[in-house]
A and B are shown apart, each in its own frame.
Chain A
Amino acid sequence: MLEIKNLHVRVEDEDTEILRGIDLAVPKGEVHAIMGPNGSGKSTLSYVIAGKDGYEVTDGSITWDGEDLLALSPDERAARGVFLAFQYPVEIPGVATLTFLRTAVNAVRKARGEKELNTADFMRLVREKAEALGVKQDMLKRGLNVGFSGGEKKRNEILQMALLEPTLCVLDETDSGLDIDALRIVSEGVNTLRGPERAMLVITHYQRLLNYIVPDRVHVLQEGRIVRSGGKELAEELERTGYAEFGEGKAA
């Protein structure tokens, strides 16, 4: 289970708190959605779970499987099964996508005490997963995310997720930039990973994604707090009403 308790976060060297007391629990086997207006702190929450520098946790805790995530480096978290699909995947010129994928897969396998994959096995695995997600082979030869379209970058994120087989998946606006077909393909990719051993946190602005990836719970994040939680029908309600009516203090 992912357990976040009373999490307070601010950006280093700045006074304003971005996350102001988040409580959230995502049991294994469940998918929770987080919705909320721009700037409410969704990406910040995802970065703090994944371990990005530059954020200071002033109070509270994050545990995964009972282990304190905040004490671990980003790569240690990845080895424990944490995966963040980035809202804005980084372009890295000069690092071939395929080289990167292989290095990542083997780093994680090694850290988990599994055998590293040889070239042939790795290539077989990549081909299979890439095909399922509609990632073209020539993309894999290019620099990591370099010159990829917005949608291609998002597919590449899900390809990495499929290859690394994480147990805690955080998807930050994976649907933005995807066309209708890609949205379906990517959602299928995510759904195949759903299972009793996995927890997922899906950040999105649109209810449409949640038609494909049906969440067990929906939470509304506003100004650094979860102001309301409910079932999947909450997403539909938000679509109609917007965020205006969820002010401070109206948390359910």
Chain B
Amino acid sequence: MTVQIVKTPAEEALESAFAAMRDGLSGAAGDFAPALRDAAMATFRELGLPGRRVEEWKYTDLRGLLRDVPEPIRASGDTLSETDLYDVLGIDLDEFLAYRIVIADGAFAPELSHFEGTDALFQVLPLSEALANPPDWFREGFGKVNPPERDASLALNTAFMTDGVVIRIADGAKLDRPLHLVFITGSTRRGMVTNRNFISVGEGAAATILETYGARRTPDMLRNAVTEITLGHGAEVEHLKYQNEGRMGLHLSSWMAAIGPGARYRAFQFSIGAGLARNQIFTRFTGEGGEADVSGAFMVWDEQHADTTVVIDHAVPHCKSRALFKGVIDDKARGVVQGKIAVHPGAQKTDANLMAHGLMLSERAEFDAKPELEIYADDVVCGHGATTGELDEDMLFYLRARGLDVNQAQALLTVAFVGEALEKVECAPVREAFVARAAAWLGSDKS
């Protein structure tokens, strides 16, 4: 039985926006996208915005928190420059040698993107083009990479997606530089931006992929970003994300990963922006001998809310997963980590562990951790745990007795706390940028 609940203004706005936009969205003229969008919108109509009643969203009441929905933005027409990229991301792009693909607001920005001479390694298509003229491999895989069941935020993404990056990395290709996917909003108007990425990593290929999200001016964008990624046999991928959206904004994000046999997937998300951030990561082993590390760190203050929700599906035997999340929470901010390890029937020799640790810098801060094990096999090694703590008084005194003032001492200990997670990042320039950002966060410069 479905309980009929009154639609919120935000739900109504989303439905009518879809009706108005449908025929103008990317790929509307083709035979692929419209059906996907309609099905997704039907799912959304049925589910509505997730609120407290939905177990997976019980700490993040999107239904209650999302008051209204701004108009969707595709290309805003505001031009962005290299300097804007630097200001928003805080990563020195001159120093960071990467293949860069920029999505400005809701559209691919070729003038800011640089990935010349890489055809032998990978193929890049803007999502808008792939939706209009889908290649066979895209048509077959898109939307089917380990999607969560009945997830309203994914449904909204599929319904409204405008642009994003579609990448196919060739079998055996070893990328000599990271792929840097930049998602930036430059619009002066408040708006809704919906990005979707689809990445297929060939057999034996190796790549580092960094996604960065930020807003130039408008602090209260509503972004919904989804990345689907498949790893072929023996592929190795480090998949990183830095989220520093405007602090009044909403950032909904889902990563869906399918890890092939013997493949190694390392995911890490560092999240400091947005008023409300929901980071979902769904990973599934699809072949034996796979390894995954799904970790992250977040630092929030004021009234920010950061939710990380992870499901690691051990669907086949002989796979190994590790997950470590660390959150620093100041003022009245709230951190949430929900992590589920699901060991399917027959997935023997699974080796899985998930930990979540919260550091509270204020008495009004809140940390909710819900690690879960769901095990349907008997020959497995699984562990999980969560802790919440404050800075250690004895450590603080020791540092202050050596001349560090209270801010310096707190900063050093806080960076040491998140540092344990940040150390997981293998790509050195990104790791160093994260550590530097974490150190600066506690100083005056939190935004």
Contacts and interface: CB of A to CB of B under 8 A. Distances in A.
Contact of B397 (A74, A104, A164): A74
B400 A89 contact: no
A50 B399 CA distance: 12
Contacts of B402: 78, 100, 104, 107-108, 160, 164
Nearest to B409: A75
Nearest to A108: B403
B21 interface: no
A165 to B, nearest CB: 11
Contacts of B406: 73, 75
A51 B392 CA distance: 16
Interface in A217-245: none
A53 B397 contact: yes
Given A103-B404, A104-B404, A89 B398 contact: yes
Contacts of B136: none
A92 B395 contact: yes
A94 B398 contact: no
A93 interface: yes
Contacts of A79: 403
B413 interface: yes
A205 to B, nearest CB: 22
Contact of A75 (B404, B412, B416): B404
B412 A100 contact: yes
Given A94-B416, A94-B417, A94-B419, A103 B408 contact: yes
Contact of B412 (A52, A73, A103): A103
Contacts of B397: 50, 52-53, 74, 90
Nearest to A47: B397
Contacts of A53: 393, 397
A90 B398 contact: yes
Interface string B376-419: 00000000000000001111011111111110110011011101
B23 interface: no
B12 interface: no
B176 interface: no
B420 interface: yes
A95 interface: yes
A90 B412 CA distance: 14
Nearest to A54: B393
A78 B400 contact: yes
A126 interface: no
Main SS class of interface, B: helix
B400 A73 contact: yes
Contacts of A107: 402-405, 408
Interface residues of B, number: 23
A90 B397 CA distance: 9
B409 to A, nearest CB: 8
B202 to A, nearest CB: 38
A107 B420 CA distance: 25
A111 B182 CA distance: 43
B419 A75 contact: no
A51 B417 contact: no
B441 to A, nearest CB: 16
Contacts of B400: 51, 73-75, 78
Q: Taking each of A77, A78, A79, A84, which has the highest tally of chain B beta carbons within 10 Å of its own beta carbon? A: A78
Contacts of A160: 402
Contacts of A75: 400-401, 403-406, 409
Contacts of A111: 403
A25 B85 CA distance: 62
Contact of B399 (A83, A84, A100, A164): A100
Q: Taking each of A94, A108, A160, which has the highest tally of chain B beta carbons within 10 Å of its own beta carbon? A: A94
Contacts of B394: 90
A206 interface: no
Contacts of A83: 401
Interface in A42-93: 50-54, 73-75, 77-79, 83-84, 86, 89-90, 92-93
Nearest to A73: B400
Contacts of B393: 53-54
B412 A95 contact: yes
Nearest to B412: A95
Contacts of A164: 402-403
Contact of A86 (B398, B413, B419): B398
11 contacts: A52-B397, A75-B403, A83-B401, A86-B401, A90-B398, A92-B395, A92-B416, A100-B402, A104-B402, A104-B404, A107-B405
Given A51-B400, A75-B404, A104-B402, 20 more contacts: A52-B397, A54-B393, A73-B406, A74-B397, A75-B400, A78-B403, A84-B401, A90-B395, A90-B398, A92-B395, A92-B413, A93-B420, A95-B416, A99-B412, A103-B404, A103-B408, A104-B403, A111-B403, A160-B402, A164-B402
Interface of B: 392-395, 397-406, 408-409, 412-413, 415-417, 419-420
Shortest 5 CB-CB distances between A and B: which pairs?
A94-B416, A108-B403, A78-B403, A74-B400, A104-B402
